[in-house]
Amino acid sequence: MNALIGKSERRVDGRDKVTGRAQYAGDFHLPGQLHGVIVNATIGLGRIRSIDASAVETMPGVVAVISHLNAPRLAYKPHKTFIDPAVGERLHVLQDDRIHFYGQPVAVVVARSLDQAERAARALNIRYDRRQPKVDLRDPSLPVVLPEAMGEEADKSRGDLEQAVPGAVTVDERYEIARENHTPIELHATLAAWTGDRLTLWSKSQFVVNEQAEIAAIFGIDPANVQVISPYVGGAFGTTLRTWPHVTLAALAARMTGQPVKLTLSRKQTFYTTGHRPFTTQRVRLGATPDGRLTHVEHEGTGETSRYEQFAEALVSATSYLYSCPNLRVRYRLQPCDTSTPTYMRGPGEASGIFAIECAMDELAYKLEMDPVELRRLNEPKLDEGSGLPFSSRSLLQCHDVGARSFGWARRSPVPGSMKDGRLLVGWGMASGTYPVWFAPASARARITPAGEFEVEAAASDMGPGTYTSITQVAAEALGVPMSAVKFRLGRSDFPPTPPHGGSMTMASVGSGVRAACQALRAELLALAASSAASPFAGASPGDLHWDAGALMRRGASERLGYARLAALGPPGLMATATGGRSEEAGKYSMHAFGAVFVEVAIDPDVYTMHVRRMVGAYGAGRIVNPRLATSQCIGGMVGGIGMAVMESTVLDKRDGRPVNAHMADYLVPVNLDIGDIQVHFIDEEDPYVNPLGVKGLGEISLVGVAPAIANAIYHATGKRVRHLPIRIENLLHGA
Ligand code: MOS
């Protein structure tokens, strides 16, 4: 038996990535391709009065200027896909003269070269009738609505919040989190080509089968006539879980010009309509007995959405199960405003909601004069008090233990400002994190080639966590062959369908599907070897056969049947297809990953520059398929948490809704100098219920909890409690 799951195998795609052989969406080229450049609205609300394309149409290289004036009316069929993160009516691009938000695409200029298209796009003269958009979420005239799709889930309660507790210690605070954009290194890009009525899209996507379905619905064509190809994704964090308007525009431009069209968003354009983490406001009320037992938890959250769609996330969902508390109420609302629709961004909902809860817990710990780790320990629940179900596994206390020990938490002096390093203020803070274990059936196929290689395929995506590698491990282990004998391919909509590459469920879902397909192929091959007249093992029982070092062997015999010879016994390309499932027992459990983050910040007391010197993350996330990749993924999530805590904020101009810092000079993300030492620990966790592989996922949990740990560390260093993200130098200076 070769146990590959659990081994720190190297990335199978590492060489291709560092040599540039790996092709991202923008790297694909077709002969005769044209270049499309989107023209974006420069008002935040209103109508297009006129578009004068005449001067632009005669500019060098220009092939077409496409706007609502000449674009065909598209079908925009309503459709049900696997996951649609928003309800409402998606933006119908170039279908009428209405402007819903700043930066909405209003035209596409297509030219022979990118340079010509950019120049012409800049010159296009568009006049507008402008109205005043509402984009300031603090504006009291904005409506507040119940998220339709959530219904009662948006209001949950248990116990009696009015119940008085003698001597209760309370916290009642408001928290705010800025709008954030995903800003992956790789820009969104689509190359679209029609052959007759068949469309091929080379497009950055975390969900190729959904992009196929959506584009087919938009154009009113059979999904079988749309092929989406996305072998590599250079970071995404949720921004390509949906199909945004630029994909439609690339396909539309290609159809209208009769040539392949490549369309790449500029960095600035990625701030307009590729989704964003919604601005949120929250209120948290906590009550505890003087000895630290929670008696009341009230958590209200409101997130922004667009006027044409409701985007809802899990802002208050974790509150009901994170700690034990008899009396609890959560409430979630949306605020529609004149902006594009937000979407999932790493740790969607939980990262924001848990920021508020975990900062409030820290405030409570100070009021109780209790260690924050101890406060959490005291409120550890025996079961999920939200659903009433037992946890399939829950290692939050072990995460606290392992994290605290590794960090050296016992040496912390609790008084704010009491820990110093020379003239620098040192702050130590911590927070818990949690994220659900999602699962959805994924299909996969596995075949043996005449050369005796194993090919495994699933639609899937790999936005960087190492899916190519970890799934190859799963496949090789299930087949019983070395990793070098397996080639795993993903990122094509004509491969067996898989759920979105998001919600931390790729290994759980795609891994389970691949495992099932490989087990089925292995069983077929063993049966073939035991039954085929041409097989040296004819007549053997399949149970007596096993793989060993590149060949099939019979127990107690020395004869070897190589993979190529084995393949020759069956029909060419012998293949097995399967869909992964999980045990029905799963429904009887509450299934979540847990984590704890410990942070040290150093702050200059004169100018309040901050440095996150070190972080320790401890995670109970089920089985870890590849510790090296898992550690790397967690480091990435924790770095993202630094961005959320002290840097990232998309600022809108209240006059017109323009994102004013739509570029990497002013939209700050952590760079190497911002990162100190990061340590990652995994708790040994065996969870037989979550899925056949026993994995819980890591993408989101690694970010959840980082921002509150940093905010709590900043308080510990300075005695200043900043209740909004990002926390900037000026917040500490002004609070002085
Ligand atoms: Mo992630 S927000 O599920 O890509």
Question: 82: pLDDT confidence band, cut at 50, 70 and 90?
Answer: low
- Strand-strand pairing, 198-203 and 226-229: parallel
Tokens of 379: 């409120």
Angle, nearest 10°, between helix axes 706-718 and 627-646? Answer: 50
CA within 13 Å, CB half, 6: 9
Which residue has tokens 């995903």?
182
- Give the CA count within 13 Å in the CB-facing half-sphere of 73: 3
- Any bridge partners for residue 492, and if so which? 229
25 three-state secondary structure: helix
CA of 463 to the centre of ligand 1 (A): 10
pLDDT score recorded for residue 555: 87
Which of 207, 241, 244, 350 is the best mutation target for the ligand 1 pocket, counting ligand atoms within 8 Å of the beta carbon and taking the most?
Answer: 241
Residue 167 in this model has a pLDDT that exceeds 70: yes
613/585 Cα distance (integer angstroms): 43
Phi/psi of residue 665, each to 5°? -80, -35
- Name the pairing type of β-strands 280-288 and 294-306: antiparallel
Asked if omega into 726 is within 30° of 0 (cis), the reply is yes
592-624 pLDDT, tens digit per residue, is 999 999 999 999 999 999 999 999 999 999 999
Residue nearest ligand 1's atom 3 by CA: 502
Q: How confident is the model at residue 81 (pLDDT cuts 50, 70, 90)?
A: low
- Separation CA 79–CA 729 (nearest Å): 47
Ligand 1: centre distance to CA 699 (Å): 8
Decide: helix, strand or coil at residue 260: coil
Ligand 1 closest atom vs CA 236: 4
| Secondary structure (DSSP) of 97-132 | SEE-STT-EEEEEEESSHHHHHHHHHH-EEEEEE--
Confidence of residue 274 (pLDDT cuts 50, 70, 90): very high
Closest ligand 1 atom to Cα of 239: 4
pLDDT level of residue 391 (50, 70, 90 thresholds)? very high
Q: What is the pTM of this model?
A: 0.97
User: Ligand 1 centre from 605 Cα, in Å?
Assistant: 37
Return the H-helix or E-strand segment holding 190.
strand 189-195
Q: Which of 285, 623, 206, 191 is nearest to 437 (CA)?
A: 623
Reported confidence tier of residue 556, pLDDT bands at 50, 70, 90: confident
**Which sign, positive or negative, has the C-alpha torsion 581, 583, 587, 590?**
negative
Q: Does residue 278 carry a pLDDT above 90?
A: yes
pLDDT at 639 exceeding the cut of 90: yes
Compute the distance from residue 167 Cα to the ligand 1 centre, in Å: 43
Question: Do 180 and 237 touch, CB atoms closer than 8 A?
Answer: no
Q: Which atom of ligand 1 lies closest to the CA of 500?
A: 3
Residue 615 to residues 336, 420, 480, 524, Cα–Cα distance (Å): 37, 18, 39, 49
In this structure, of 87-96, 500-509, 535-544, the range with the lowest mean pLDDT score is 535-544
Within 8 A by CB and 6+ apart from 460, the residues are 442, 467, 471, 490, 491, 495, 498, 501, 506, 510
What atom in ligand 1 is closest to the CA of residue 504?
Answer: 3
Q: What is the pLDDT of residue 558?
A: 87
Residues with CB under 6 A from ligand 1: 206, 237-238, 241, 344-346, 348, 502-503
Catalytic, 700? Answer: yes
Helices (H), 237-349: 245-257, 319-322
Beta strand pairing status for 724-725 and 169-177? parallel
Q: How confident is the model at residue 735 (pLDDT cuts 50, 70, 90)?
A: low
The single residue listed with the structure tokens 């053997």 is 540
Pocket test for ligand 1, best of 244, 346, 703 (most atoms within 8 A of CB): 346
User: Can you tell me the distance from the alpha carbon of 649 to that of 668, in angstroms, rounded to the nearest whole number?
Assistant: 8
Cβ atoms 203, 484 nearer than 8 A: no
CA atoms within 13 A on the CB side of 484: 2
Q: Where are the beta strands (DSSP E) in 585-729?
A: 592-603, 610-620, 675-682, 724-725
β-strand partners of 652? 659
If one compares 364 and 149, the residue with the highest pLDDT of the two is 364
Task: Report the C-alpha gap between 248 and 84 in whole angstroms.
Answer: 17
In this prediction, residue 390 has a pLDDT band, given cuts at 50, 70 and 90, of very high
Helix (H, G, I), strand (E, B) or coil at 223: helix
Looking at residue 659, the DSSP 8-state letter turns out to be B
The answer to whether the Cα torsion of 132, 135, 136, 141 is positive or negative is: positive
pLDDT in tens, 482-532: 999 999 999 999 999 999 999 999 999 999 999 999 999 999 999 999 999
3-state SS assignment for residue 287? strand
How far is residue 341's CA from residue 276's CA, in Å, rounded to a whole number?
8
Q: Give the E-state strand segments of 307-404 in sequence order.
A: 309-311, 327-337
DSSP state of 317: T
Mean pLDDT of 31-45: 98
- In the predicted model, what is the mean pLDDT of the chain? 96
- Average pLDDT of the residues in 125-140: 95
Parallel, antiparallel, or unpaired for β 486-489 and 189-195? Answer: unpaired
Q: How far is CA 247 from the centre of its chain?
A: 20
Taking the C-alpha atoms of residue 79 and residue 94, their distance in angstroms, rounded to an integer, is 20
Q: How far apart are CA 184 and CA 345, in angstroms?
A: 11
Q: In whole angstroms, give the CA distance from residue 76 to residue 104.
A: 17
Q: Are 180 and 726 in contact (CB under 8 A)?
A: no
Tell me how far the alpha carbon of residue 317 is from its chain's centroid: 17
Question: Which DSSP helix (H) or strand (E) runs through 46?
Answer: strand 46-52
Q: For residues 200, 204, 205 and 206, what is the CA-based torsion angle, rounded to 10 degrees?
A: 150
Tokens 């590459």: give the residue: 501
Determine the pLDDT at residue 148. Answer: 87
Assess whether pLDDT exceeds 80 at residue 83: no
Going by their DSSP bridges, the two strands 592-603 and 610-620 should be labelled as antiparallel
- Number of Cβ within 10 Å of residue 700's Cβ equals 30
Higher-confidence position of 56 and 558: 56
- The pLDDT of residue 273 is 96
Candidate of 237, 311, 343 to mutate for ligand 1, largest count of ligand atoms within 8 Å of Cβ: 237
Rounded CA-CA distance 647/178 in Å is: 10
CA triple 246-249-253, angle to 5 deg: 145
Average pLDDT over residues 397-417: 98
Would you give the DSSP letter of residue 10? P
Instruction: Answer whether residue 680 shows pLDDT above 60.
Output: yes
Secondary structure class of 5 (helix, strand, coil): coil
Question: Which candidate in 180, 585, 700, 730 is catalytic?
Answer: 700
| The predicted structure's pLDDT at residue 736 | 45
* Residue found under tokens 């769609």: 309
CA-347 nearest atom, ligand 1: 2
- The rounded distance, in Å, linking the Cα atoms of 219 and 728 is 46
pLDDT at 165 over 90: no
- The CA distances from residue 382 to 374, 378, 506, 600, in Å, are 16, 11, 29, 31
**pLDDT at res. 1:** 45
Q: Could you tell me which of 382, 374, 373, 282 has the C-alpha nearest to residue 332? A: 282
- Residues 468-502 as b/e (b if ≥16 CB within 10 A, e otherwise) read bbbbbbbbbbbbbbebebbbbebbbbebbbbbbbb
CA atoms of 115 and 727, how far apart (whole Å): 40
Average pLDDT for residues 180-209, to the nearest whole number? 97
Sign of CA dihedral 517, 523, 524, 525: positive
Calpha distance 41→480 (Å, rounded): 56
Ligand 1 midpoint to CA 520 (Å): 31
How does pLDDT run across 204-252, given as a tens digit for each residue? 999 999 999 999 999 999 999 999 999 999 999 999 999 999 999 999 9
Q: Which sign, positive or negative, has the C-alpha torsion 343, 592, 471, 524? A: negative
DSSP string, 664-675: TTTS----GGGE
Contacts of 672 (CB under 8 A, 6+ apart): none
